[in-house]
Structures are given as structure tokens and as C-alpha cells.
Amino acid sequence: MSMNKKDLLDSSKIVENIDIAKVDTTDVIKAMQKMSFSARDTGRAAEIYQKMINDKDCSIILSLAGSTSSAGCMKVYADMIRYNMVDAVVATGAAIVDMDFFDALGFRHYQGNINADNAALGDMNVDRIYDTYIDEDEVEECTKTITEIANSMKGGVYSSREFIREMGRFLKENPERNKRKGSLVELAYEYNVPIFCPAFSDSTAGYGLVKNQVDHKNHVSIDSVKDFRELAMVKWNTKETGVFIVGGGVPKNFVQDVVVCTELTGEAMPRHKYAIQLTIADVRDGACSSSTFQEARSWGKVELNNEQMVFGEATSLVPLIISYIYHEKSWEKRKRRELANIFFK
């Protein structure tokens, strides 16, 4: 059966983001807490997250890797900022640019087929993310927008946080270009939540920034070491922290390593007091991104007793846990940290 690009990217096949405010999982999570295996792990993870929310001294960091954003969880992550459940974000460039900012510009992800003819998809400029499609032509428009933002900035060295804030400013100041209000990048700008992408160029942003460097002698450059220093500044200014880690990879290592960084570069800060990770990674190959928190404790990164590894697929687990937190409503009494203000002093 031949494929047609228009049919593949049909509006009836748009991936819809789950709305945690409309789906109450409270009873499900409470029931899972009395079960075993991954169900009980998930229930305990929700309980630990609730402790983070209720701890008045704890700042919460969301670590985000993988493609769950394109699969329908992007609004969940944005709502975590909207409803004051997270104070800083560390993510892959793809999650922030190719998924969130991409959607904010009016582009969409579509339900696809893992058994599709990939050569035919490539010929039609349709990119596949497992069972999800995106339009390569729209990806190129996203790249051009990143170049446009870079061109508007004074040449120099920036952290990814600084550049992503400019992306949020762009959406706020150009409402005609902001097609989907309430994106993660926009809300982070509005609520002064810093976003770090330590491997920022490993995304559509990389193409856009290369274009800026090719065209301008005084170009924009992203410094991942500055990212690390700024995240250390967040830790120095907050001291007590909890982490909610989706996937693994560079964001997870970056978030955990900051504890050791503060010890080696200035005043040593406490290990992360709370820690949750949702992953399907196997730890037997020794990969750092899939290491357990028990292993991380040997490195002095995470405190034990309030940690939980949940081995399961994140698009199933994230909505369950975060909907529970939303409907428990403890976030309503929580003070906003506005940690981005650290960098304006």
C-alpha cells in the first residue's frame, strides 16, 4: 500500500497531550501502594514526590531525557511548572527544542507506524520517532527560528539557560508566532524557572546555531561548562534538593554530578535529599545513566531512604504520578522559588 504525506500527517492523527487536571489517578496510586512489583514502586515514588512538595526547604529539579514529550507528556511537564511542582529543569536539547518549542510554533507530532517503510518516509521528508511522525519541513522552520533568535542576540558566550530564556521571551513577545500557549519554555520564562540543556547542540538548535556561527563573525556560542557552574549556583542557593528523573542520559548525570561539583569548586552542598527515576534501562552494563541511586550514593550524589527507582515506560508512569500530585493539591501551599532570579542579581 503506497503512502501519502498528507495522509500520514493528517490532523485526525495528531498526538494529544494528556491533561493531568482532567484525569484523577489518586485512587489508582493509593491502590498501587498496597500492591507489589512495579505497582508498589510507582506508588512509593508518588509518595516520595509528595514529600518533596511538602518539604518547605526542598527545591525540585526535573531531569528529562527521551521522547516522552513527543508522545503526549509535554503538557504534563509544562503543568509541573504551572502548578509549582518543579523549580528547575535539566533536559535534552531535543525535549526542549524539537518537541516543546516545535509545538509552540504550531507544529505537531502525529501517530505513526513502527513498521512503516522508512525509506519512503525519508523520501517524503517525514521523520519517525518510534510510532510517531513529524514533518521534516517543519523541523527546518524550527531550525530557522532558532537562528533568528541567535541573530537577534549580541555575539558572545552563553549558557543554554540564557539562550532558552531568550526562546521563552521570543514566544512572549511574538504572540502571532506562539501558536500553542502554555509551552514548557514559555511557562519557564513566565515563572522564572531555569532550564538547562547541557548537550544543547544535540538537537535542532545545533543546526540553527551553526548557521548563526557561519553567517556572523560575532556569533552566539553555548558553553556547557557555564551550564554546570550555573546549576552549581542553583544548588548553592537552595541547598536541599529533590530530583525527579525521566529516562537517564546526560541530564541525569548532570543533575547528580552537581553535588560533587559543589564539593570540589566551593562550599560542599548536601546530597540530593529525595530522588525518583523512571527508566527501562538495564543496570548490568554499568551505564552511568541507568545506575541505581544506591550506586549513586557511593559517589556521594544521592541520600538514601527517600529514593525510588521505577523500572517502567515513562509515558505510562509520568501521568499516573503527576496527576496524583496535582489532585492531592499540596502544591497550592508551596512557595515558588523563581530560581532564575539567582542569575539577575
How distant, in Å, are the alpha carbons of 137, 149, 222, 257, 330 from that of 64? 26, 24, 19, 15, 23
130 in any annotated domain: yes
d(CA 345, CA 342): 6
Residue 242 clears pLDDT 90, i.e. is over it:
yes
d(CA 138, CA 142): 6
Instruction: Report residue 282's pLDDT band, with 50, 70 and 90 as the boundaries.
Output: confident
238 in any annotated domain: yes
Q: What are the pLDDT digits (tens) for 182-227?
A: 999 999 999 999 999 999 999 999 999 999 999 999 999 999 999 9
* Crossing angle for the helix pair 136-152 and 204-215, to the nearest 10 degrees: 50
260 in any annotated domain: yes
Instruction: Report residue 2's pLDDT band, with 50, 70 and 90 as the boundaries.
Output: low
What single DSSP character describes residue 97?
A: I
Instruction: Report residue 291's pLDDT band, with 50, 70 and 90 as the boundaries.
Output: confident
User: Mean pLDDT lowest for which of 34-48, 100-114, 284-298, 314-328?
Assistant: 284-298
Instruction: Report residue 284's pLDDT band, with 50, 70 and 90 as the boundaries.
Output: confident
The Cβ of residue 82 has, within 10 Å, a number of other Cβ atoms equal to 18
Q: What are the pLDDT digits (tens) for 323-345?
A: 999 999 999 999 999 999 999 97
345 in any annotated domain: no
91 versus 4: the higher-pLDDT residue is 91
- 0.85 surpassed by pTM: yes
Q: At 88, which helix (H) or strand (E)? A: strand 88-91
User: Mean pLDDT lowest for which of 89-103, 273-287, 307-321, 327-341?
Assistant: 273-287
Average confidence (pLDDT) over 120-143? 96
Residue 148 clears pLDDT 90, i.e. is over it:
yes
254 in any annotated domain: yes
Average confidence (pLDDT) over 259-282? 94
58 in any annotated domain: yes
In this predicted structure, what is the pLDDT of residue 185?
Answer: 98
Q: What are the pLDDT digits (tens) for 32-81?
A: 999 999 999 999 999 999 999 999 999 999 999 999 999 999 999 999 99
Catalytic residues: 301
Q: Smallest Cα–Cα separation from 238: which of 106, 57, 46?
A: 57
Give the total number of structural domains in the chain. 1
* CATH number for the domain that contains residue 144: 3.40.910.10
341 in any annotated domain: no
Domain boundaries, position 317:
5-10+37-328
d(CA 91, CA 190): 18
22 in any annotated domain: no
Average confidence (pLDDT) over 223-248? 96
